[in-house]
Amino acid sequence: MTKSLRVALWAAVLSCMGANTALAANGVLSPNDYIGFTFFTGYMAMFAASVFFFFERGRVADKWKTSLLISGLITMIAAVHYFYMRGVWLDTGTSPTQFRYIDWTLTVPLMCVEYYLLLRPAGASSNMMWRLILGAVVMLVAGYYGEAVQPDKNVMWGIISTIGWAGIIYEIYAGEASKLASGSDNPAVKAAFTQLRWFTLVGWAIYPIGYMLLPGNLLSGMGIAPSNMDLIYNIGDAVNKIGFGLVVYGMAISDNK
């Protein structure tokens, strides 16, 4: 993720968090319902990205076709869930927490699989892939328990969730994944791996920020309404999932041989 993209993302989040975010009700989208807007734009953007990745799959070398397929599946799964989430928001004006975590439980492990597919030509082991997936599952299950099942213990579950995320960070910055990328003789793979790491380190950090807005958590007293969590999550999903796929696509096109 480039510096300008990170700055733009945070500027959008901060400006919208200070805006009037009137809740939707009875299936009607209010003109100043910025959260509702992001549900709609997220749905259409990720659906369009899926179509793009599926069509462009035929342009890349055979060894990268699965990577493009996974990129398309990630954004397609997210688009389907956003279709339902925007319905929940319009009908009730409440956060579609269950749908969101179902989405993440499917798409985040697939994003971890992208690391394995990227490094498989360099000798990545299936054990590396499963370690990344395990970290994702721990991160998501603990996050769900802290947000929806035992919100009174959200700090404890947040710590457990962070351990899962830290395991992923270790793997891609100091573990097998990092070592394989450093030793790769493919400059396109090296560049893509570096960009994906930025998405995982910086882009994914937007989710714990939303989580820490929960009552009783670290940011709960900052005057930011908990409903703005959906705004944060929606922007993060679109940037991270589409961006992840575009990095893989750019690598596959540049290494089309």
Integer Cα distance of 86 and 71 in angstroms? 22
pLDDT, residue 13, reads 42
Residue 224 reports pLDDT greater than 90? no
pLDDT, residue 19, reads 40
Structure tokens at 210: 């939303």
Residues of 99-117 as b/e, b for ≥16 C-beta within 10 angstroms? bbbbbbebbbbbbbbbbbb
Span 239-254, average pLDDT: 94
**pTM for the complete prediction?**
0.85
Q: Is 185 exposed, middle or buried (0-12, 13-18, 19+ CB in 10 A)?
A: exposed
pLDDT, residue 71, reads 97
Give 8-32 pLDDT, tens digit per residue: 444 444 444 444 444 555 566 777 7
Give 46-76 pLDDT, tens digit per residue: 999 999 999 999 999 999 999 999 999 999 9
pLDDT, residue 230, reads 85
Q: Which CATH superfamily is domain 33-254 in?
A: Rhodopsin 7-helix transmembrane proteins (1.20.1070.10)
For residue 215, name the pLDDT band (cuts at 50, 70, 90). Answer: confident
Give 83-111 pLDDT, tens digit per residue: 999 889 888 888 888 999 999 999 999 99
